[in-house]
Amino acid sequence: SAVISQKPSRDICQRGTSLTIQCQVDSQVTMMFWYRQQPGQSLTLIATANQGSEATYESGFVIDKFPISRPNLTFSTLTVSNMSPEDSSIYLCSVEDLRRGGNQPQHFGDGTRLSIL
Amino acid sequence: GQQLNQSPQSMFIQEGEDVSMNCTSSSIFNTWLWYKQDPGEGPVLLIALYKAGELTSNGRLTAQFGITRKDSFLNISASIPSDVGIYFCAGRGGATNKLIFGTGTLLAVQP
């Protein structure tokens, strides 16, 4: 499966600031996703990162708070804007390559552990 | 967001014991995936299931896609200390085809 690298792996930020998380894949993939995992919780999909167009956001997540870029088939960024302590979570990038066939599993990066003071 | 019902929530077992966990959904899925997450890491895919009734093994792990397409189970045989972690089921189906995650099962193995 693809090797997925996320940067930074962790950060501690001040409230009101913004942080951009990068996700780099070692091969081209059709689909890239961003998830949030709050402390002790399961994974919740934030959005699907679409190459060359605006991301598709899930209910409860908006572009102003979580702007996403996907300039090509191997790279995406997620920005967490105007952070508050409630944004303290693990943010995970995942990929899925539909060129291998219609039904493919998603593979995840190691996540970015974000703490907001 | 929507989540699958996964049980048990946690398990504390002795090394060598077998483990079973399951997920149920009110919706029909066409894919069931099982992941394991270690502390400080992202979820790692263990087993992928694509057909109702399918039974698939990966070493000491066995998972099945329920006949009703609304449930799946994961068994771990002869558990070892490195099996410790959080296990998540994930299902996909319906018009959106999004991946929906279970609530997780925390597994602790006493040597």
Distance from C-alpha of A115 to C-alpha of B68, rounded to nearest angstrom: 42
Of A6, A58, A107, the CB nearest to B1: A58
Q: Is any Cβ of chain A less than 8 angstroms from the Cβ of B7?
A: no
Residues of B in contact with A110 (CB under 8 A): 40-42
Residue B1 has pLDDT above 60, yes or no: no
- The per-residue pLDDT for range A5-58, each reduced to its tens digit, is 999 999 999 999 999 999 999 999 999 999 999 999 999 999 999 998 899 999
Which residues have CB under 8 Å from B97's CB, separation 6+?
none
Task: Read off the pLDDT of each residue in A69-82 and give the average, rounded to a whole number.
Answer: 97
The answer for residues whose C-beta is within 8 angstroms of residue B96's C-beta and 6 or more apart is none
Query: Closest by alpha carbon to B7, among B108, B106, B110, B109?
Result: B106
CA distances from B78 to A13, B11, B13, B81 (A): 43, 14, 11, 10
Contact between A103 and B33 using a beta-carbon 8 Å cutoff: no
Distance linking the first and last C-alpha atoms of chain A: 36
Q: What is the reported pLDDT for B66? A: 96
- CB B40 to CB A113 under 8 A? yes
Q: Scanning every residue of chain A, which has its alpha carbon at the shortest distance from the alpha carbon of B103? A: A42
Over residues B59-73, the mean pLDDT reads: 96
pLDDT, tens digit, 9 for 90 and up, residues B8-33: 999 999 999 999 999 999 889 999 99
- The pLDDT value given to residue A102: 67
Which of B30, B32, B45 is best to mutate for the A interface (most A CBs within 10 A)? B45
Specify whether the backbone of B29 is left (phi greater than 0), alpha (psi in -120 to 50) or beta.
beta
**Which residue among A59, A103, A105 places its CB closest to the CB of B1?**
A59
In terms of CA atoms, which chain B residue is nearest residue A34? B99
What integer is the mean pLDDT of A86-98? 94
- Closest residue to B33, CB basis, from A105, A111, A113: A105
pLDDT at residue A97, as a whole number:
84
Q: Could you tell me if A112 and A10 are in contact, meaning their C-beta atoms sit under 8 angstroms apart?
A: yes
Strand, coil or helix: A112: strand
Spatial separation of the C-alpha atoms in residues B34 and B48, rounded to whole Å: 7
For chain A, give the mean pLDDT: 94
